[in-house]
Amino acid sequence: MTEHSTALHTDRYELTMLEAALRDGTAGRRCVFELFARRLSGGRRFGVVAGTGRLLTLIRDFRFGESELRYLRDEKVVDAATVAFLEDYRFSGSITGYREGELFFPGSPILTVEGTFAEAVILETLALSVLNHDSAVATAAARMSIAAGDRPLAEMGSRRAGEQSAVAAARAAYVVGFGATSNLEAGRVWGIPTMGTAAHAFTLLHDTEEQAFRSQIEALGVGTTLLIDTYDIPRGVETAVRVAGPSLGGVRIDSGDLPIVAAEVRAQLDALGATSTRITVTSDLDEYAIAALAASPVDAYGVGTSVVTGSGTPTAGMVYKLVARQSSDEGWVAVAKTSTDKASKGGRKSAFRTLDGGTATSELIAVADGFEQIATGAQHPDARPLQVPLVVAGDIDTAHEGPVGVSAARAHHARVREELPVQALALSRSDPAIPTVYADVA
């Protein structure tokens, strides 16, 4: 039995295609699949790749154990020959892709999967479900991080997402600059710092606000953050400082007209001698609300619903398409859809980011007619190669997995975000910050 199998995290048509290909003899043809976005969702100016490390672990667990095979037999999803094939399924191909935390643009070959049709096609749903969700969250969170500047951000949206999506969202937000999460499972699994003190329920539990504050300080110390807007905010501030003293760590505001309230709270804290007490604001923040608070005396932000839902854009709009395959005479042919508004570009691709003085100027994608004819960094000395090996002959590069992989992705994102041109930092809907340029491999 496969204890943690991810094999059924897929669509039925992946397996029915497999059955038909096994029957007609095309299942063993070597193929190249590509995962990319035709456009940037939500009028965003750039996208951020996230979820790669999660996906690699899920591919390792993509095994059909007895429970999964029994389900396929009982429901007559596929025939006996296909079930027998799946019993021994292991991905033995290769995957290259953009590093987690990397920026992407329309047409960027975010993931390239090479293998037989049989072993590569059935990874489609899993790859898209992970990268579409995590990249949407990361892209929104990166915009919030840009809007926040040097002020710290905490992710606190678990209650607005599915239980597994909440953990993935916390991870994606951390990759692009959030400093902490309220989700303990994300902390345990991915090594993300966790935070949290008390909600309004704790104040309402006690007979008075003062009793609640005294209890919290006794448990957590004067460095804690007190929630001051359960009742009257000015009275809450006065009580907080009177109970904790001028060394109170922080106060949190979760309601009201935040720019006005934050200014009033800062003035009151200073007048009471609590000049070092920090102000954290929450209350349905998104990137626009954070940007509007840039001139306010706010020290930190807590973001919930908008970050875990991609701030209104819950998917990155990525697709997974066959772009090259082995022909019946064992040669290689580029293949592509030509459907209206859904056309793809055939051929194996290599990706580079052209730079001028350290600033990105274009996404350069070199397209090969054949299979072995691949562009190299030496052919584009003024550009940064974007693809790295993730899986080689079925062997997963573990450097991208676990907490270590998350830390590496976070560091990589911080570096590459510095390459964005200034127009990419604006929050308004617009065209991509840099153009995607295609070139044939020389």
User: Taking the C-alpha atoms of 367, 373, 379 and 383 in order, what is their torsion angle to the nearest 10 degrees?
Assistant: 40
Alpha helices in 272-358 (DSSP H): 287-292, 305-308
For residues 289-317, average pLDDT: 97
Confidence label for 329 from pLDDT (cuts 50, 70 and 90): confident
Question: Is 80 exceeded by the pLDDT of residue 2?
Answer: no
Cα 155-160-165 angle, rounded to 5 deg: 75
* Lowest pLDDT segment from 79-93, 230-244, 325-339, 354-368: 325-339
More confident site: 115 or 1: 115
Structure tokens of 89?
A: 């399924």
**Residue ranges of domains in the chain:** 12-137+313-440, 197-298
Structure tokens of 404?
A: 């270590």
Burial class (CB in 10 A: 0-12, 13-18, 19+), 1: exposed
Which of 150, 141, 146 is closest to 172 using CA atoms? 141
More confident site: 1 or 54: 54
For residues 176-203, average pLDDT: 98
pLDDT digits (tens, 9 = 90+) for 20-48: 999 999 999 999 999 999 999 999 999 99
**Alpha carbon 137 to chain centroid, angstroms:** 5
Domains 12-137+313-440 and 197-298 alike in fold: no
pLDDT, mean over the chain? 95
Position 351 scores a pLDDT of 97
In contact, 343 and 106? CB cutoff 8 Å: no
Burial class (CB in 10 A: 0-12, 13-18, 19+), 316: buried
For residues 325-353, average pLDDT: 90
pLDDT digits (tens, 9 = 90+) for 75-109: 999 999 999 999 999 999 999 999 999 999 999 99
Confidence label for 369 from pLDDT (cuts 50, 70 and 90): confident
In contact, 315 and 133? CB cutoff 8 Å: yes
Q: Does domain 197-298 have CATH number 3.20.20.70?
A: yes
Residue for token digits 């691949």?
374
Position 1 scores a pLDDT of 36
Helices 80-87 and 12-24 sit at what angle, rounded to 10 degrees?
Answer: 100
Position 328 scores a pLDDT of 86
Q: Which helix (H) or strand (E) holds 37?
A: strand 30-37
For residues 299-321, average pLDDT: 97
Q: Give Dmax (Cα) for the chain.
A: 84
Residue for token digits 């055939």?
346
d(CA 203, CA 213): 8
Query: Which class is 12-137+313-440 in CATH?
Result: alpha beta
What's the Cα-to-Cα distance from 430 to each of 40, 135, 143, 222, 423, rounded to whole Å? 10, 19, 14, 46, 10
DSSP three-state, residue 244: helix
- Residue 25 CB neighbour total at 10 angstroms: 9
Residue for token digits 């000049």?
275
Confidence label for 441 from pLDDT (cuts 50, 70 and 90): confident
